[in-house]
Amino acid sequence: MTPHNHAKAGDYAEAVLLPGDPLRAKWIAETFFDDAKLVNSVRNCLGYTGTWKGKSVSVQASGMGQPSLAIYVHELINVYGVKTLIRVGTCGGLNAKVKVRDLILAQGASTDSSIVKGRFGAFNFAPIADFELLRSAASKAEEKGMRYHAGNMLSSDIFYHADGMAGYDKLPEHGVLGVEMEAAALYTLAARFGVKALTICTMTDCLITKEEIDAEQRQTSLRDMVEVALDVAVEG
Ligand SMILES: O=P(O)(O)O[C@H]1O[C@H](CO)[C@@H](O)[C@H]1O
Ligand SMILES: O=c1cc[nH]c(=O)[nH]1
């Protein structure tokens, strides 16, 4: 047990899905898992373990932002022995070719966060996804006929940028596809502790075209994304 998690040893499966939102964690457990069991409710940052297609799998909310995610992920790896972490998030779009409802598979994660920058001194570390998880997610999205893009994500510490699009500086011009708030810290911790990680996001609002997802589309899209993530989690 930790200050943030009252699950016992063995309560988590080796593979864990990581939504930012605790209510998305509850929805995933109640909608997709067989035999879902609540394993953590400290701060209402809910965690569940159950089965998907007969195999054990967990979901744990990460909260919003890299500091919050880093706490849960550090503990999942080092206290609970988790080996595969798949973030299932929402993101903003930074490229007009990415349409709302499209998946972004974050092959890499650029960041403005000192959590990553602060650790590497003169070097710009490049946080990247596990290749096997990335390849598997791409082929499963393809099999389901889903639109997806694999590429660079921005993990920002800032949701409300005082400088508007100028706050994103040159990133969209360099192919960055979307913006969310957690992937870079997830990938950096996974690299440090030798485990596998991937971030899959549904694009919900495009900062370039101003297109936004509606409530019904949001639910369907999240459902498709979670099915891909669960298949990757249990099948690799
Ligand atoms: O939908 P989630 O997974 O929370 O992800 C995105 O939504 C939150 C901001 O609204 C941030 O956590 C961002 O990364
Ligand atoms: O972090 C996020 C998530 C969704 N939409 C955004 O613009 N940013």
pLDDT at 221: 84
Q: Respond yes or no on whether ipTM tops 0.90.
A: yes
Atom 4 (ligand 2): residue with closest C-alpha? 91
pLDDT at 216: 80
Under a CB-based contact definition with an 8 Å cutoff, are residues 228 and 140 in contact? yes
Distance 164 CA to ligand 2 centre (A): 13
How far apart are the C-alpha atoms of 16 and 56, rounded to whole Å?
10
Q: With a 6 A CB cut-off, is 134 part of the ligand 2 pocket?
A: no
Architecture in CATH for domain 15-235: 3-Layer(aba) Sandwich (3.40)
Give the mean pLDDT of the chain. 96
- Report domain extents, the chain: 15-235
How far apart are the C-alpha atoms of 98 and 96, rounded to whole Å?
5
pLDDT band at 147 (very low <50, low <70, confident <90, very high): very high
pLDDT digits (tens, 9 = 90+) for 149-206: 999 999 999 999 999 999 999 999 999 999 999 999 999 999 999 999 999 999 999 9
Binding-site residues, in ranges, read 4, 20, 24, 43, 87-90, 180-182, 204-205
Binding-site residues for phosphate, in ranges, read 20, 24, 43, 87-90
pLDDT at 220: 82
Task: Report the pLDDT averaged over residues 229-233.
Answer: 98
Nearest alpha carbon to residue 196 among 49, 44, 16, 72: 16
Task: Report the pLDDT averaged over residues 63-78.
Answer: 98
pLDDT at 236: 79
pLDDT for 58 beyond 90: yes
Distance 90 CA to ligand 2 centre (A): 7
Atom of ligand 1 nearest to the CA of 180: 14
Distance 9 CA to ligand 2 centre (A): 34
> Above pLDDT 90, what percent of the chain?
93
pTM of full prediction above 0.95: yes
Among 33-47, 174-188, 207-221, the least confident range? 207-221
A 10 A CB-CB count for 67 gives 15
Question: Which stretches of 96-195 are assigned E, i.e. beta strand?
Answer: 103-111, 148-155, 178-180
pLDDT digits (tens, 9 = 90+) for 112-130: 999 888 899 999 999 999 9
